[in-house]
Structure 1
Amino acid sequence: MESSILFDDNDVQAMRELMGRIASRSTIVDFDEQILLSSTRETTRIWKQDNKIVGFAFMDEYNNLWFDTETEFPLLDELETEIIEWGVLCRKRRIVEISADTTLDCTCNADNSRRISTLEKHGFILEPVRSLQYSRPLNKQIAEQPLPAGFSIRCVKGRDEAWQLVALHRAAFGTNNMTIEYRLAMMSTPQYIQEMDLVAVAPNNELAAFCVCGFDDPEKKIGTTDPIGTHPSYLGIGLGKAITSAGLIALKNAGANTARLGTSSENIAMQRLAIALGFVCVSEKLWFSKAVS
């Protein structure tokens, strides 16, 4: 088994194919966004056996370790141990470069008992926050939600509007997690559809809400409406419902039969919005953290 931090476009495609073979819950769309970031590429490592990728890992900007492996690989325990040790090494290097919190975080599906056991064996501790996955069939009627007077919904104008979209995202979530580089990466993936990247516009032409729609599968039958957010100045007037229902209608018209969205267990407002629009929670991911020094 060999590992390398150097990879090319063929290796990136092989990573996608690995995720497809194991039905990874880390969606290929998320992967394609991350792999375009320079910070992600600097912490990406691949493992090969007989010149075939059997696993890969990277640490994102927020110190989350993401990895996928061939589940039938004979040396799976050894492989995943190497991956976690690689993640710890990346985290230690970042601690030296940037003085910040000292945990390495990782997520896995709640029903993945093997991965949970692996993380716990390597000192990861379960955190209270969870990532919730909601789903809604699109064969049921989708009620078009009314917009407040003077508001409109349109698709984004293009890459030149990225800085405004980043400002809106940061305001909506109260964090600086969205960056220009990441927003441009979202708009550069093969799956990105500009016509489904929706924003609500206020009467004063300020961007007031957003809903990024797309597809989660090559057949374009599973649509996504995620992320969704509203500027704090425009909360409580129905923009979230209006823009999400517009996204659902767009996905249905494009041939999708199911829509999905994800949110945090701490985001009660988004959970209520999802339920109000006919979504049900179908799965959850657990988060784990490991102290690194």
Structure 2
Amino acid sequence: MKAFNEKYVDTEENFNNVHAFLRKMVTLTGKLQTWEFVRFEFWNRYEKSKSADPNFKEQNAHLWKNEAGEIIGLFISESGGSFFSLIVHPDYPQLAGEMVEWTRNVWGEGKKKLNTDCYPYGLEVQALLDQGFVQDSHIGNTRRYDLAHTDYTLNLEEGFYIRCMAEGTDEGAKSELIEQTFSPGNSNVGSIEYWRKDLKSYKAELDFSVVDDKGRHIAFCFGFVDQDNGIAVIETIGTHPDYRQSGFGKAVITACFMRLKEQGVTMAYITGFSAEANALYQSLRPVEIIPMHSYVYEPQI
């Protein structure tokens, strides 16, 4: 079948079409892709807010469509630079080679290095190797949790409580904790916008924190759900530096798992990169661990 490629234009229709494509990919393949619907929502919102280039999205996202106009391939770069990702529809495996070639020769023209992250089952992997990319390193793991067949018990020490944003938890306090966790020393923490609530899949009842008896936030996580397919992605997880290794991270994720299970969600995914994160996520009893490797191409100039 013939495929057509075109630049991504930043419209609501295109956003919804790509969002639907990424959600459909999980059900078509039975596997999580390196880009899922939540990551795309973050890219759409975060890059819009921080990029000074009005053409950033058009320059760093590209679509392949079949003759019926359906998306069958996606190229996307999270923040420009040398890093990119490819998602290939399973019915069009031959498209992977064309997409890698386009990435290398068009988007990658003049770049000294290109790199991407892949799961071992990704259709793009062999195409990357065929066109000069080399596997570089193991960078992280995605874990799958079977919520339908796993029982979770919440254990939290006295004086600490689970709260969700639907209960009226203070947005400013949680924003400050997120910045203290990921950007310690940031002098602008008090003015950080709580932009996650604007994401398409955000639900206040899945926006969890551990708080102490004074209402101070200690640990946090966000659950995002593809309701059509009963799949959740737990994204943005952290604990205040002063309270790590105390079980608060496990507690807040457990609370999220329990709420998801109540809502009929059967599967959840979490990705970890550091040794500490991977140890935490492993303690939550995943049913599958999916390694992620980086692939690098350095043109001979």
Q: Which aligned pairs between 1:59-74 and structure 2 lie closer than 5 A?
A: 59-61=77-79, 63=81, 64-73=83-92
**In structure 1, what is the Cα distance between the partners aligned to 2:37 and 2:243?**
32
Cα pair 2:100 2:124 within 8 Å, conserved: no
Partner of residue 44 from structure 1, selected from 61, 73, 85: 61
Residue number in structure 2 paired with 1:212: 222
| Residue type of the alignment partner of 1:187 | K
**In structure 1, what is the Cα distance between the partners aligned to 2:212 and 2:183?**
15
Structure-2-length-normalised TM-score? 0.75
Partner of residue 80 from structure 1, selected from 80, 91, 100: 100
| Residue type of the alignment partner of 2:134 | I
Confirm or deny that 1:249 pairs with 2:258: yes
CA apart distance, 1:170: 0.5
Gaps of 5+ in 1: 93-101, 173-179
Partner of residue 210 from structure 2, selected from 191, 200, 203: 200
Per-residue CA distance 1:53-94 (angstroms, 9 max, x = gap): 4433221127430222344446653343113434314x84xx
Residue number in structure 2 paired with 1:274: 281
Residue number in structure 1 paired with 2:270: 261
CA apart distance, 1:263: 0.9
Instruction: Give the SS at the match of 2:137.
Output: strand
Instruction: Give the SS at the match of 2:162.
Output: strand
Per-residue CA distance 1:113-171 (angstroms, 9 max, x = gap): x4222212333232223331212322332111123x33222224476557425414405
Q: Structure 1 stretch 4-13 or stretch 154-163: which is displaced more?
A: 154-163
Partner of residue 284 from structure 1, selected from 279, 282, 291: 291
Q: What's the C-alpha RMSD, in Å, of the aligned pairs?
A: 3.2
| Residue type of the alignment partner of 2:255 | A
**In structure 2, what is the Cα distance between the partners aligned to 1:228 and 1:10?**
30
Cα pair 2:96 2:124 within 8 Å, conserved: no
Cα pair 1:151 1:202 within 8 Å, conserved: yes
Q: Structure 1 stretch 226-235 or stretch 276-285: which is displaced more?
A: 276-285
**In structure 2, what is the Cα distance between the partners aligned to 1:106 and 1:272?**
24
Residue number in structure 2 paired with 1:134: 143
**In structure 2, what is the Cα distance between the partners aligned to 1:158 and 1:220?**
31
CA apart distance, 1:199: 1.6
| Residue type of the alignment partner of 1:242 | A
CA apart distance, 1:243: 1.1
Q: How many equivalent residue pairs?
A: 271
Per-residue CA distance 1:10-69 (angstroms, 9 max, x = gap): 222332343325546121221222123224624222344547244332211274302223
% same residue: 19
Per-residue CA distance 1:153-206 (angstroms, 9 max, x = gap): 22244765574254144058xxxxxxx68x62x432221112211122245544
Cα pair 1:168 1:208 within 8 Å, conserved: no
CA apart distance, 1:269: 2.3
Partner of residue 155 from structure 1, selected from 152, 161, 164: 164
Cα pair 1:136 1:279 within 8 Å, conserved: yes
**In structure 2, what is the Cα distance between the partners aligned to 1:232 and 1:171?**
11
Q: Structure 1 stretch 268-277 or stretch 25-34: which is displaced more?
A: 268-277
**In structure 2, what is the Cα distance between the partners aligned to 1:140 and 1:32?**
29
| Residue type of the alignment partner of 2:221 | C
| Residue type of the alignment partner of 1:41 | K
Structure-1-length-normalised TM-score? 0.77
